[in-house]
Structure 1
């Protein structure tokens, strides 16, 4: 009996499925009509038809060979509904996840793929079923060999059906279409020839060539005229509608075997996320021709080997066997996530495809076997350090090895940085990345380390599995990332990594080691005074409210405000009344207790978030220095962030923030120096937009805010209105509309709108340029910064509100991200010049500002050099300028 291959015209089927079903949505509001139709089809394989092999044909993006024949081909297609576009990539991704094979080739359409597979399958003696109702595929019908199946009507389309519907046989169908044309694909055909005329001509003469060979014999003069005038287009049209039969082969038939287990069960978790439980219920109920049991989770097919090394000679042998040019993944296991407190417990490494090694050093439990000595570990890590080392989060392991073994690891590549460069908005952790690319769940830390213990307490056999897996998966991830950079045409991002992102880790390590000194006496005084202030506010609140309660409990506060005091509120939720700052600001005039509550919250936050933690950290070492951790991959725009403690969000404009900043001081004999890029984002706007008025103002070193005020309000009012101009200048870079600007300036939105319109009249190129950024992001799905770093935006799965936010963020990212590029370049240059110079230390980066600790007698000289570096680090179309300030506290740097 003949075996059957089923070829699905995937896009054609999905489009029809979308329009055939009502606009279904998941509970979250995501459209699911197309996805439901697709799953209904898959669940009916084995019920609607039997098949031995199956393949999904896909359209490749971009032009095909037909566009070279006729440049108007498919040029007038209507816009595809947004809900359809959202679902399409998801459906395509499910095909592979379910274990089916796809077929696609650049320069060809899915119909060509279908035709080629059908042609090849016929040669191999297979019966071909084409799942489609598209008339363009009728030309392939060849009874008993190739037929079509309509999945909606569940009917077979054979030669008889073709003839009944169109009056021509399948082998005449390209001639028929050449005459008739196709408005959907913009195939011209012969102008004036309709379906009946085309049918009559084909019945009479059989082929297009024969029609033109007998042109003089055609009785109707009008037909003769139409055919004569349309001859060129007729033969062009035949080329357009004739499908290629040599763009795809199916030599390895085993790839296309229908899976044994029901493929839908492989994506059961995903279907539940989309609230498509009915599909699963149907599958589990009757199986639809497949096995009905949900398959148990399969162990990875890869035979991973994790080897424990506890013998010095074995360790030396393994490390000396590593090829000189090998990439080696390296990882440490420690007692703490905080590098300052962490002790090394062991290390792992991998250089082979499916094998990794774990070397225990300091596991500590009853009955622990022999381990590698610290000295031996050190000597062997020195040997490993001669290879190209790849790590996940190099900064952490560098500090561990440096502090514990006094070795400075050499970095070749950091997979965390590479993951971030590929998608700055995505999680960069190893577990997430490995699951994403390899569908592999890594051993969880909490599953092997008991609560209250650390890694040194873990049995070394279990530790080996966990640690060696980290090294092996880091190596696999790195190799996969190289593929992804290439496949997605992002080699320029890979170059960025090797050109400066990996080097930048050294700058962050230096800053983290430097720390910044705090005045512990001042913090003690602030703590005492602020505590007294909090006690006074507490008494005032109790007296004003007429009752004592827990001020820090939103639930109790809600009851006091909205029930006891009867203040106006929005509807109560299940969790109680909202008492956040926005709510309290809205009630500020409703009762005298509200202003007191706002002051209390500010004072309490100051105490708990800044004063007490900074004092505690400052007292931990004799130098009274506070050490933060800088996050290289912490933001989507490329800016740095910091944690433990976060020194980048200390309030700037409040009195409380000023008090905190005044407690940050230089060490004896040094000064703090702040160097800040002046109006960097506006300079970047001038650079990118090339607006003549902006460029001229910056090149002439004019006050840009004053110049903007002059352009909008005139020379006489400019001085008074400079602050308004400043708000407009910066607001437009962050997508500020007239309403937001009005709120910021305290003026009606209508008036704010006039200001914005006047701005765009003055700086004529800016409006179009800002719009072009959004257009680019929408068209490409990403935005590129000055140094070509990318930020990706998932417009496909975004709703209207998210899409608007993405468009605002695309503008923000270009300027904020490019500013981050420039300061990163400056930091790299400064680090290279001064890394061995004790006279200057780089302490902090706060967005566009760098803070240094510089030896007092060299302040002027070094500040001048730093200014030179920062102002000349990149050649914009307008000058880069910095402002400098010197002081004995952070607060004095203004």
Structure 2
């Protein structure tokens, strides 16, 4: 996220806003509103706000007049910058900056690294220079009255050339804001037409005598070095020597205490209430008792039938349910919990059959499909599943690559689960409390109940039943493929 472009936009879009001491707060408020909307809408796995350094950059060393005509930042905006940094810190947003490099270069470096590692990246900036970074996995988000997400096709439609040609166009047009000269007399439309025709700036300069328009042709011939330098100045450096540690950029929940102090001083009471209301309402953990006998199991199931909701955590020794064995089982209501099976327990899943197959006992668990398969191996149907926190997480954030228990618990609750089954059962409850408001806000409850939850049971049945194959046909197909490979090679 490019901080500076959004700060200026907020400053000029919102006027005459200050706290009771008279401190201007319009830029901070606008930036805070933008961040809140952005994070709620996209729910990123990783996020960072990029700041410009305070010293001249390597571009100033190359071109002394770089940004020479920029006016001083208005005092009413400059005084708000420290509060914008405090805002990012209170929101637990990592801040990245490095002297001698601009924010664009840091963004480009991280985006390229993410692209190489197969991560989807969204650059939040209204700067057209960012179009040069767009790839299949890197997109640019322009925020205005209507957000526009630019992929390669959208860049071509909007800017007239492919992302790989953007720097060539910018090298010709220059940039009056940054005092980059470009090619005198060649505007944006002319630059786009020339690059579209010749394919690249190098090819254009090598064949500029073919340009029919005299003013264009003479500009290209007389200002060749200036044009090439302009291209160098607008090219984003994607090799900034910053160590990239993705774990440090993981999205985290806001620090409500710090946010409360900051927003109270700035007078953002309404926004503070919104953040406070969105925080997960996590109850105190129930007290757990250990179940060791079948008689206790019978009493437990009677108790569970009285609960409004039963939170379940079933630990397996293998990620594939067809190969797994149960290691431990913990169950919890709102006030009381039970460690129903541990590693050294003589109790089996069959002892809890009447609990699993009772549709009137509403159950909440993580990865119901795996539990369906495991119980099917014991001849036990799983009924009464109301909520599956894995499916809820997937619906809320479908672009996330991993929705396993440890990943989601850390991402949503900032907690790393221990091996204790009672703690994991409580975390299942807390995950549910955190995910349910998001599912409701996105209006995905119907999708969850009518599509995703029934589908999990169908997929589990398919996995348990398997697929009937004809080995003879497979052997025949293998032989035919071998012949085709030999012909092709």
Shorter chain as normaliser: what TM range? 0.5 to 0.7
Partner residue, 2:151: 158
Query: Aligned to 1:129, what secondary structure does the other structure show?
Result: strand
Q: 1:162 to 1:283 in 2, by over 3 A?
A: same
Determine the structure 2 residue equivalent to 1:262. 254
Q: Which residue, out of 141, 146, 151, partners 1:149?
A: 141
Number of matched pairs? 283
Seen in structure 2, the aligned counterparts of structure 1 residues 9 and 29 have a Cα distance that, compared at 3 Å, is same
Q: Do residues 278 (structure 1) and 270 (structure 2) align?
A: yes
Cα pair 2:32 2:87 within 8 Å, conserved: no
| Aligned residues of 1:148 and 1:158 also touching (Cα < 8 A) | yes
Q: Using the alignment, how far apart are the partners of 1:113 and 1:149 within structure 2?
A: 17
1:192 counterpart residue number: 185
- 1:284, CA displacement in angstroms? 3.0
Q: Offset of 1:30 from its aligned partner?
A: 0.8
Indicate how the Cα distance of structure 1 residues 47 and 99 shifts in structure 2: closer, same or farther if over 3 A, else same: closer
Q: How far apart in 2 are the matches of 1:284 and 1:154?
A: 26
Q: Distance in 1 between matches of 2:30 and 2:282?
A: 22
Which structure 2 residues correspond to residues 675-690 of structure 1 after superposition, within 5 A?
none
Q: Give the greater-gyration-radius structure (CA).
A: 1
The answer to whether the Cα contact below 8 Å between 1:18 and 1:37 also exists between their aligned partners in 2 is yes
Equivalent position of 1:14 in the other structure: 7
Say whether residues 1:38 and 2:34 are aligned partners: no
Q: Aligned equivalents of 2:38 and 2:78: distance in 1?
A: 25
Q: Is the 8 A contact 2:45 2:251 kept in 1?
A: yes
CA shift for structure 1 position 250:
5.4
Secondary structure of 2:100's counterpart equals coil
Deviations 1:220-239 (A, max 9, x none): 22221111112111001011
* Deviation per residue, 1:616-661 (Å, 9 max, x gap): xxxxxxxxxxxxxxxxxxxxxxxxxxxxxxxxxxxxxxxxxxxxxx
Question: 1:275 Cα deviation (Å)?
Answer: 0.6
Unaligned runs of 5+ in 1: 1-7, 297-894
**Partners of 2:103 and 2:193 in 1: how far apart?**
31
Q: TM-score normalised to the size of structure 2?
A: 0.55
Q: Is the 8 A contact 1:26 1:275 kept in 2?
A: yes
1:17 positional shift: 1.6
Q: How far has the Cα of 1:18 moved from its partner?
A: 1.3
C-alpha deviation, 1:44, in angstroms: 2.0
Residues 239-318 of structure 1: matches in 2 within 5 Å? 239-249=232-242, 251-259=244-252, 261-263=253-255, 266-285=258-277, 287=278, 291-293=279-281
Structure 1 residues 23 and 161 mapped into 2: Cα distance closer, same or farther (>3 Å)?
farther
Instruction: Give the counterpart of 2:73 among 66, 80, 86.
Output: 80
C-alpha contact (below 8 Å) 1:132/1:148 kept by paired residues: yes
Given the superposition, is the C-alpha separation of residues 66 and 264 from structure 1 closer, same or farther in structure 2, using an over 3 Å criterion? farther
Of 165, 173, 197, the match for 1:172:
165
Matches within 5 A, 1:481-880: none
The one of 90, 101, 116 equivalent to 1:108 is: 101
Q: Secondary structure at the match of 1:22?
A: coil
Normalised to the residue count of structure 1, the TM-score between the two structures is 0.31
Write the deviation string for residues 110-156 of structure 1: whole angstroms up to 9, x where unpaired: 0000000101111111111111111111111113x000112343331
Task: Within 5 Å, give how 1:408-419 maps onto structure 2.
Answer: none
CA contact (8 A) 2:3 2:49 kept: yes
- SS in structure 1 opposite 2:73? coil
Corresponding residue number in structure 1 for 2:90: 97
Higher relative contact order (CA 8 A, sep 6+): 2
1:699-739: CA deviation from partner (whole Å, max 9, x where unpaired): xxxxxxxxxxxxxxxxxxxxxxxxxxxxxxxxxxxxxxxxx
Measured in 1, the distance between the counterparts of 2:44 and 2:241 equals 20
Q: Compute the displacement of 1:249 (Å).
A: 4.6
- 1:163 and 1:169 in contact (8 A); partners too: yes
| Equivalence for 1:209 | 202
Distance 1:264 1:159, change over 3 A: farther
* Cα distance in 2 for residues equivalent to 1:121 and 1:29: 43
**2:387 equivalent in structure 1:** none
In structure 2, distance between residues paired with 1:294 and 1:203: 57
Distance 1:213 1:195 in 2: 20
User: Retained in 2: the 8 A contact 1:283–1:292?
Assistant: no
Given that residues 47 and 249 in structure 2 are in contact (C-alpha distance below 8 angstroms), is that contact kept between their aligned partners in structure 1? Answer: yes
Task: Supply the RMSD in Å over aligned alpha carbons.
Answer: 2.0
User: Within 1, Cα distance between the matches of 2:41 and 2:13?
Assistant: 18
Unaligned runs of 5+ in 2: 285-489
